[in-house]
Structure 1
Amino acid sequence: MPRICLYPKDVATLTGRSYDAAKRLVRRARQAAGKPAGALVSIQDFCRLTGLNAEEVSAALNAPASR
């Protein structure tokens, strides 16, 4: 099943930022979407804030793990 929610670890991997910077970015995406604290952040919420392409982010998150 494809993932639609982002976590700070995902954002850190996608953007190359530190984990703490990624937490702040996820928090900003949550606030920009008008969601309460603790609510999940979707790929769409994150992409609206950052301007990244949602299809590319989704493909990167849902890519099979390389072995």
Structure 2
Amino acid sequence: MKQKRACIYPKDIQRITGRSERYGRKLLNDIKNFFDKEPYQFITIREFAEYSGIDEEIINKYLID
């Protein structure tokens, strides 16, 4: 079985939303603030799904390993 990534990056957000990579970086910072995370901590796919309202299965289709 192929292992999927656990965290999401700005480029992934760009693919999912069709917005710029800069928007992806800003959104990740907004999510970190929402979940009260430190700047060095990662955002998981589950956290992104919860924040954005997009189903995890749809997000996983856009992820490239």
Normalising TM by the smaller chain, what interval?
0.7 to 0.9
What aligned pairs does 1:7-22 form with structure 2 within 5 A after superposition? 7-22=9-24
Question: Larger % of strand: which?
Answer: 1
Q: Which residue of 2 aligns with 1:4?
A: 6
Contiguous gaps of at least 5 residues in structure 1: none
In angstroms, what is the RMSD of aligned CA positions?
Answer: 1.5
What aligned pairs does 1:1-67 form with structure 2 within 5 A after superposition? 1-61=3-63
Contiguous gaps of at least 5 residues in structure 2: none
Question: After TM superposition, which residue ranges in structure 1, 4 or more long, deviate above 6 angstroms?
Answer: none
The alignment's TM-score, normalised by the length of structure 1, stands at 0.81
Work out the number of aligned pairs and report it: 63
Identity %: 27
Amino acid at match of 1:59: K
